[in-house]
């Protein structure tokens, strides 16, 4: 079992990363901030700033995310809800319902059943940038992805939302108009589901103005995690809602395109179109 942080003294990145691994591995344990900070010779607030700047999450948020990940894995494996909550390290059922159901976007029993109690509408359309599928829950768009064909998109949607049902049209029409005719980007409700860090990144991306770009390092700095540049790139790659969460507006520090899960040709085309349409 890893040592408690009392054995560490140098407040360097390697020591903080090792501590972060300990926090994730033992997410069911209580780690008071003052106890974490003391061996590094920092005040609790200074320690939290340093840790968050490197990892992207505070120690508490990191443990919360680790517990939620364990809960999701246990539910997907078919464990009973109460048993899954305890397996994840929440300690009691009362602690988890509000927090976890908010992050999952549904009840724990519905998540365990593969969203059986949730209606997800979807449709696919050939747009200026190729085939695009969009799916939405009652809360908003949860899936918008480009693909090679309708069948490929349907298979991807089945993996993400196995019980998606009848198609929707008005919202994808609005997005298609934006792509094809430079109409204003539609302000559609979104149903985003991800880790705490991913959600911070995605919310920031939604605030990048049309026709502008940011570097991965700029995003990391803006969300208070300046050393988490690589994690920002990973969060962009995990985005399931193309264009509406504009991860295409994030570039490498040297101005190169960087990555894009739906292909660099689409990323370049989106940026060129948005630059031309900018007021």
pLDDT of residue 194: 84
**CATH class of segment(s) 196-277:** mainly alpha
Alpha helices in 77-228, H assignment, sequence order: 81-87, 97-104, 108-112, 150-160, 170-181, 196-205, 216-222
Residue 187 has a pLDDT of 86
Please provide the DSSP assignment of 205-248 as one string. Answer: HTTSPTT--EEHHHHHHHTT-TT-HHHHHHHHHH--BTTTS-GG
Q: Does domain 62-112 have CATH number 1.10.3110?
A: no
**pLDDT-flagged residues of the chain (< 70):** 1-11, 76-78, 81-82, 84-88, 90-118, 162-167, 279
Phi and psi at residue 126, to the nearest 5°: -85, 120
The pLDDT assigned to 120 comes to: 81
So what's the pLDDT on residue 133?
Answer: 92
Name which of 197, 242, 240, 243 is nearest 220 in CA terms: 197
The residues spanned by each domain of the chain are 5-56, 62-112, 121-181, 196-277
**How does pLDDT run across 104-147, given as a tens digit for each residue?**
555 666 665 554 456 788 888 899 899 999 988 878 898 999 99
Mind listing the pLDDT tens digit for each residue in 2-29? 455 555 556 678 888 889 989 988 888 8
Distances in whole angstroms, Cα of residue 164 to Cα of each of 89, 127, 191, 196, 224: 31, 21, 14, 25, 36
* Cα–Cα–Cα angle for 39, 45, 48, rounded to 5 degrees: 70
As a 3-state breakdown, the chain gives helix, strand, coil percent values, each rounded to 5, of 50, 10, 40
Catalytic residue among 11, 142, 236, 247: 247
Residue 143 near residue 240 (C-beta atoms within 8 A):
yes
Catalytic residue list contains 11: no
Whether 62-112 and 196-277 share one fold: the answer is: yes
Q: What is the pTM of this model?
A: 0.69
In this structure, the number of other CB atoms found within 10 A of the CB of residue 188 comes to 17
């Amino acid at each position: 079992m890893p040592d408690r942080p009392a054995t560490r003294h140098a407040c360097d990145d390697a020591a903080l990363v090792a501590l972060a691994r300990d926090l994730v591995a033992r997410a069911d344990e209580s780690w008071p901030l003052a106890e974490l900070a003391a061996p590094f010779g920092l005040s609790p607030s200074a320690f939290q700033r340093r840790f968050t700047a490197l990892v992207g999450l505070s120690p508490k948020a990191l443990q919360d995310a680790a517990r939620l990940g364990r809960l999701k894995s246990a539910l997907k494996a078919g464990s009973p809800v109460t048993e899954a909550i305890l397996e994840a390290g929440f300690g009691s059922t009362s602690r988890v319902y509000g927090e976890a159901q908010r992050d999952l976007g549904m009840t724990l029993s519905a998540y365990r059943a593969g969203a059986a109690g949730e209606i997800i509408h979807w449709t696919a359309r050939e747009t200026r940038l190729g085939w695009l599928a969009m799916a939405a829950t009652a809360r908003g768009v949860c899936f918008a992805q480009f693909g090679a064909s309708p069948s490929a998109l349907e298979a991807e949607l089945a993996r993400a939302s196995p019980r998606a049902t009848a198609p929707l049209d008005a919202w994808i029409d609005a997005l298609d108009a934006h792509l094809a005719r430079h109409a204003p980007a539609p302000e559609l409700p979104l149903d985003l589901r991800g880790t705490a860090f991913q959600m911070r990144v995605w919310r920031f991306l939604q605030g990048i103005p049309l026709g502008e770009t940011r570097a991965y390092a700029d995003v990391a700095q803006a969300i208070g995690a300046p050393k988490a540049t690589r994690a920002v790139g990973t969060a962009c790659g995990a985005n399931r809602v193309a264009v509406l969460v504009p991860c295409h507006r994030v570039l490498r520090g040297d101005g190169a395109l960087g990555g894009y899960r739906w292909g660099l040709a689409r990323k370049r085309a989106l940026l060129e179109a948005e630059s031309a349409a900018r007021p």
